Amino acid sequence: MEHAHNGRFKEALQTCRETAKEANKESLLFANGVKYQVKELTRNVRVQTDELFRDKDAENFSFFPVLNGIVHKLEKQTSESMQDLSHSIEVKKKHLNDFTVALFGRTKAGKSTIREALTCGDGVTIGKGAQRTTRDVQEYNWNGLRLLDVPGFEAFKGDDDTAKAHDIIDQSDFILFLASDDSIQPGEFDHMARLQEINKPFMILLNVKYNINNEVELKRFLRMPHKIFDKERLDEHQKHIRAYVKQHMNIPQVKIVNIHADAGFKSTLPEYAAHANDLWRLSNFDEVHNAISAEVQKRGKQRRLLTFYDSAIYFADTLEKMMLEEQRSIRTQAKFMLNKKKELMSFFDGFASDSKHQIITVCKKHFDRIKQWIPGFIDTNLASPDVDKLLTARLKAEQDELKSKMVGELQRIVRELQEKLTEFTKQYQFDLELLETDTAEMGGLQKGQIGRVVKWGGVIAGGVSAGAFILANVGVANFWNPVGWIAMGVSVAAGLFSWLFGGWEEKKWRKAKHDAKEQLTAMIDDTHKKAVEAYLQWFDRQIIRKGKREMLDQVSTYISGLFGIADVLKAFASEIRLRKTNMNKKLFAKLLSFEGVNCTELQIIALSREQGRATKIMVPNGWQMAGSIKTNLDSICGEQVHLFSDGSNTKERVCRALYPADITPDMIKLSKATEGKQNEATITVPSTEKGKLIGKQGINIRLASEITGIRLKIS
């Protein structure tokens, strides 16, 4: 096995170590920068909410737990994400001297057999794959390489486990994916696609599972290996594998090596000593190592560089997308609440009008009835010496009855308000749940990133959902409940008639007897008017004004808080995006320097990248680069890399950015610039170029728009 080593391989590994140490320093600088931004985010969010919470009645504010919960959730998310970043850097720091290879594959494909063969084990772990858990990552050294044996895909039971597998991918420089000729399933490569988002290079090992446990089969294997490694049969398998890889991973070419894992393992056992060399040779493990060795010698330092840089970039991309999704969700809820506020105001106006009509009606009925008994009372009691006392007693009874009626009526109005608000709240929550379902988009997050966001407690997992907090902390019964702000100590009727009961001297009363009916009726009409005014004023003050203030002001405060938090998150995402772009510039400046181009990140004018898919890089005019540089970058990064010189004007720049589409300046119409900045351009493109202009899933026009800073539209 040692013959696989050579001087150049060792030199390449040493170069890899030096590259890793420099890349680790950049990762630490990046992490410290993000840590500072996270602290600023926490502070800015607190500034937004603390201003709202300073109100002396803040704790009685129905939305207080919602906003407070959002703040705590965001703090948890950023704390969890920073722990992940620190852990990622710390793990890689421990292995600065190692070129790490990860071995993936389904259970029973032969990973344990490979491990036993390469470590000269006794075979005790072979066949126990089904008992493995996601924590059973085995680590061992093989000819100067650090090899990580990862559990079979069957061990991955959800996004959290997939995130753990991502941790292994994150620290790996190269991936070996093991398949077996007895069962090749497309689902295996679907799993691999999920683990490939960080953009790692890989090679497929096709394990030929021919049984050599008995002497007859062993001799046949040694005598006629070409029968076992049947070229036609294995070529067909490789054809299917390449088709699967292209379909699930969008990779047109992949290296596949046929191996016999059991032959390699048996070559290390004493009982097979006589055939050890032949078994090892036929296992094809040397070809595997030689392929990795060639990769290390040719691109080892680039691989080590990408392990550190792409890990940081992937983290930043996940954090940026998560925060953009958070702010979008929060902003959507704020806009939703604005509409609900309008509905609530409309509801209050309608309720107020109906209730005032009821108050007027009850008062009118009561005073109409009083006026009905006045003529009879005067006729019967006018000559009585106790007419004053009798009238006082009668009016006192009417006052008490009116008070009782109005208290009952106002209580009925409040109950009706409670019922309508409860119904309004139920409808609000139903609409909010529909809104949250409709807006549960992933914001461009890839499957592996979703696993991380779930782990961090992001909104994708129901993190800061307003509906969830309202249900959990407020509840239907208490939400917008008027009981807390309607004081039912109704004493409006008290004293309404008191001015009738005193201040009239006997002579004045006697003098007025001749027109007592008219005067008393007029007094009752005036009292009726005052009673209606008093009750309407109380209703307006205690229910309408106070209700609107207590409820609508709360809603306005909540909306303001939501928009404020969303603005802070959007600004944070923009800062993370800028940091991610700068890290990408440093990465590609370093990769270009490895290709012999003397440049720094400051010389790269602009860069737009979707990791693992495509990158566009704008460089100064006059740069001369061989075509092989682009080819090498494509191969190293596993994505399409488009380098182009800055144009002499905006149209020329847009044309170059849209390559490979053949666009000319006359096809582009620029919109009117605002504040000296071009914001939009419309492109009239022939149908033959439209597909290339847009790119797969819109990536070409999207990256071109980003790198030029111009919104590009197709007419």
Q: What is the CATH number of the domain that holds 141?
A: 3.40.50.300
Q: Which of 268, 266, 263, 307 is nearest to 287 (CA)?
A: 263
- Residues 61-94 pLDDT 10s: 566 777 778 888 888 888 888 998 999 999 999 9
pLDDT of residue 514: 56
The Cα angle at residue 528 between residues 526 and 534, in degrees rounded to 5: 105
244 in a structural domain:
yes
The number of beta carbons lying within 10 Å of the beta carbon of residue 26 is: 17
- 59 and 143 share one domain: yes
pLDDT of residue 448: 60
Beta carbons of 111 and 136 less than 8 angstroms apart: no
- 483 and 369 share one domain: yes
Instruction: Please state the rounded mean pLDDT for residues 38-53.
Output: 85
Structure tokens, 198: 């960080």
pLDDT at 289 over 60: yes
φ/ψ of residue 132, rounded to 5: -75, 155
Give dist(CA 424, CA 292) in Å, integer: 66
Q: If you ran DSSP here, which 8-state letter would residue 677 be given? A: B
The residue from 556, 576, 596 where one domain ends is: 576
- 615 and 549 share one domain: no
Number of domains into which the chain is organized: 3
Beta carbons of 492 and 535 less than 8 angstroms apart: yes
pLDDT at 57 over 50: yes
329 in a structural domain:
no
Confidence tier at 20 by pLDDT (50, 70, 90): very high
Beta carbons of 460 and 450 less than 8 angstroms apart: yes
The kind and range of the H/E element at 18 are: helix 7-53
3-state SS record for 569-591? HHHHHHHHHHHHHHHHHHHHHHH
- Residues 497-508 pLDDT 10s: 554 444 444 444
DSSP 634-674: HHHHTSEEEEEEPPSSHHHHHHHHTTTS---GGGEEEPPPB
Q: If you ran DSSP here, which 8-state letter would residue 464 be given? A: S
Instruction: Please state the rounded mean pLDDT for residues 8-26.
Output: 95
pLDDT at 712 over 70: yes
The answer for residues whose C-beta is within 8 angstroms of residue 680's C-beta and 6 or more apart is 670, 671, 710, 711, 712, 713
CATH no. for residue 709?
A: 3.30.300.20
pLDDT at 50 over 60: yes
- 562 and 645 share one domain: no
- 285 and 361 share one domain: no
pLDDT of residue 149: 86
pLDDT of residue 109: 72
Confidence tier at 458 by pLDDT (50, 70, 90): low
- Residues 296-343 pLDDT 10s: 999 999 999 999 999 999 999 989 998 998 898 888 888 888 888 888
Beta carbons of 167 and 85 less than 8 angstroms apart: no
- 366 and 235 share one domain: no
- 641 and 552 share one domain: no
Beta carbons of 49 and 71 less than 8 angstroms apart: yes
Is the model more confident about 631 or about 436?
A: 631
Note down the domain range covering 640.
605-714
Give dist(CA 373, CA 46) in Å, integer: 67
Give dist(CA 315, CA 86) in Å, integer: 11
Confidence tier at 132 by pLDDT (50, 70, 90): very low
Beta carbons of 150 and 173 less than 8 angstroms apart: no
598 in a structural domain:
no
Q: If you ran DSSP here, which 8-state letter would residue 110 be given? A: S
pLDDT of residue 279: 95
Question: How far is CA 377 from its chain centroid?
Answer: 78
pLDDT of residue 191: 67
589 in a structural domain:
no
- 547 and 609 share one domain: no
Q: Which of 9-13, 412-416, 552-556 has the lowest mean pLDDT?
A: 552-556
Give dist(CA 670, CA 681) in Å, integer: 4
Instruction: Please state the rounded mean pLDDT for residues 699-715.
Output: 94
- 359 and 432 share one domain: yes
592 in a structural domain:
no
Q: Is the pTM of this model over 0.75?
A: yes
pLDDT at 128 over 50: no
610 bridge partner residues? 614
φ/ψ of residue 495, rounded to 5: 80, 0
Q: Which of 247-251, 341-345, 505-509 has the highest mean pLDDT?
A: 341-345
Buried b vs exposed e over 572-607: b needs ≥16 C-beta within 10 Å?
Answer: bbebbbebbbbbbbbbbbbbbebeebebebeebebb
Strands (E), 181-259: 202-207, 256-259
- Residues 563-601 pLDDT 10s: 999 999 999 999 999 999 999 999 999 999 999 998 899
pLDDT at 123 over 90: no
Give dist(CA 464, CA 454) in Å, integer: 12
Percent of residues, the chain, with pLDDT higher than 70: 80
Give dist(CA 483, CA 520) in Å, integer: 40
Confidence tier at 199 by pLDDT (50, 70, 90): confident
- C-alpha to C-alpha distances, 110 to 127, 206, 711, nearest whole angstrom: 8, 10, 51
Half-sphere exposure of 264 (CA within 13 A, CB side): 26
Confidence tier at 5 by pLDDT (50, 70, 90): low
599 in a structural domain:
no
pLDDT of residue 467: 45
pLDDT at 223 over 70: yes
597 in a structural domain:
no
pLDDT at 450 over 70: no
Structure tokens, 311: 């890990």
Q: Which of 513, 498, 524, 503 is nearest to 385 (CA)?
A: 513
The residue from 263, 293, 324 where one domain ends is: 324
The residue from 324, 345, 379 where one domain ends is: 324
Give the relative orientation of helices 285-381 and 627-637 as an angle to the nearest 10 degrees: 70
Give dist(CA 372, CA 338) in Å, integer: 51
- 445 and 526 share one domain: yes
Instruction: Please state the rounded mean pLDDT for residues 122-141.
Output: 58
- 570 and 617 share one domain: no
Give dist(CA 431, CA 330) in Å, integer: 15
pLDDT of residue 548: 74
- 353 and 283 share one domain: no
Beta carbons of 132 and 106 less than 8 angstroms apart: no
pLDDT of residue 466: 45
120 in a structural domain:
yes
Beta carbons of 4 and 143 less than 8 angstroms apart: yes
pLDDT of residue 676: 63
- C-alpha to C-alpha distances, 167 to 89, 128, 135, 638, nearest whole angstrom: 11, 23, 11, 20
